């Protein structure tokens, strides 16, 4: 059975989310700001930052990443 790859926008979202929960700056976005992947990365970063500020524990954040 072949393993299906997740689409690029979802992977960009996850990378942005992981960057935010690792307390890295938004300026580390590897994509151009005006691109679709940049938009999804920034959306993930904002969601991760909001979850981090809401007080989720590190274990909870990692569990959420694996479920996304």
> Tens of pLDDT along 26-39?
888 888 878 999 99
For the chain, the average pLDDT equals 84
Domain for residue 26, yes or no?
A: no
Domain for residue 39, yes or no?
A: yes
Domain for residue 24, yes or no?
A: no
Domain for residue 40, yes or no?
A: yes
Domain for residue 45, yes or no?
A: yes
- Higher-confidence residue of 51 and 68: namely 51
- Tally of domains within the chain: 1
Domain for residue 59, yes or no?
A: yes
Range of the domain at 41: 8-18+35-67
Please, is 41 exposed, middle or buried when counting C-beta atoms within 10 Å of its C-beta (0-12, 13-18, 19+)?
A: buried
- Higher-confidence residue of 45 and 5: namely 45
Domain for residue 27, yes or no?
A: no
């Amino acid at each position: 059975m072949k393993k299906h790859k997740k689409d690029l926008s979802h992977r960009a979202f996850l990378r942005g989310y992981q960057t935010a929960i690792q307390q890295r700056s938004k300026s580390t976005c590897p994509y151009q700001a005006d691109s679709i992947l940049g938009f999804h990365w920034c959306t993930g970063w904002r969601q991760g930052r909001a979850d981090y500020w809401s007080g989720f524990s590190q274990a909870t954040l990692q569990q959420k990443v694996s479920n996304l």
